[in-house]
Amino acid sequence: DSGVTQTPKHLITATGQRVTLRCSPRSGDLSVYWYQQSLDQGLQFLIQYYNGEERAKGNILERFSAQQFPDLHSELNLSSLELGDSALYFCASSVNGISTDTQYFGPGTRLTVL
Amino acid sequence: DAKTTQPPSMDCAEGRAANLPCNHSTISGNEYVYWYRQIHSQGPQYIIHGLKNNETNEMASLIITEDRKSSTLILPHATLRDTAVYYCIVRYTGSSNTGKLIFGQGTTLQVKP
């Protein structure tokens, strides 16, 4: 158990819908990362937050957005869902959000878009 | 970040040492080598990291060549539960880096009874 929690574990929805994925970092960690893992793209970095502020953006679509709240939990919002958005979404956390930090990953949310 | 090359798959007998190679010939002086593994769609799990010296922890050992162009992750006594995809990642540690991890395709290690 990494100490990072993600809810829900599974999500099934239809095209065009909007969903919210939630992540709680390990106690004491200030930075949260979101990654997407699809069959054809592998594990890809989406976005990083540090203490409520966006720090880095990766291959995140404009239909996707995220935020980190004062209690440090984070939410990833996916809208106008398409079949290709079906994937595993992982959240990771680290202490200071810098490259010498070790990141610890949550168990993931499996999103299925029908 | 430097690119890494790993064999796509490897087999190992249960109880034997698993030696997973990684080539990172373009690594620069301030880049660390990190290893993660992912067991069947679970969240990636941190294993070990190093800069230039060999490292050992309760999970594995990391051997980095003197020129730092390659490294080997060693699982000393592989068990069936070590069957996973192993990712070798080179991370830039300069001030502009944010800490994001760039995953390649990894090596699928199959431990066989």
Sign of CA dihedral B39, B45, B47, B52: positive
Distance CA B86, CA B36 (A): 6
SS3 A51: coil
Band of pLDDT at residue A114, cut at 50, 70 and 90: very high
pLDDT at B94: 64
Q: How many CB atoms lie within 10 A of CB B99?
A: 25
Distance CA B50, CA B52 (A): 6
CB-CB under 8 Å, A106 with B43: yes
pLDDT at B93: 67
- Closest-CA distance of chain B to residue A108, Å: 6
CA of A9: which chain B residue's CA is closest? B42
C-alpha R_g of chain B: 14
Q: Which residues contact B80 (CB under 8 A, 6 or more apart)?
A: B14, B111, B113
CB-CB under 8 Å, A90 with B99: no
Q: DSSP letter at A108? A: -
Are the C-beta atoms of B32 and B93 separated by less than 8 Å? yes
- Report the residue from B43, B44, B99 with minimal CB separation from A98: B99
- Residue A112 predicted with pLDDT over 90: yes
pLDDT at B2: 62
The CA-based dihedral angle spanning residues B93, B52, B74, A105, taken in that order and rounded to the nearest 10 degrees: -10
Residues in chain B closer than 8 A to A106 (CB atoms): 43
Are the C-beta atoms of B42 and A6 separated by less than 8 Å? no
pLDDT at B92: 74
Q: DSSP letter at B77? A: T
Q: In 3D, which of A108, A72, A35 has the Cα closest to residue B99?
A: A35
Are the C-beta atoms of A10 and A110 separated by less than 8 Å? yes
Distance CA B105, CA B86 (A): 9
The pair phi, psi for residue A51, each rounded to 5°, is 50, 45
Ranges of residues in chain B whose predicted pLDDT is under 70: 1-2, 93-97
- Residue A24 predicted with pLDDT over 80: yes
**Within an 8 Å CB–CB cutoff, is residue A43 touching chain B?**
yes
- Render pLDDT for A53-104 as a digit per residue (tens, 0 to 9): 999 999 899 999 999 999 999 999 999 999 999 999 999 999 988 878 899 9
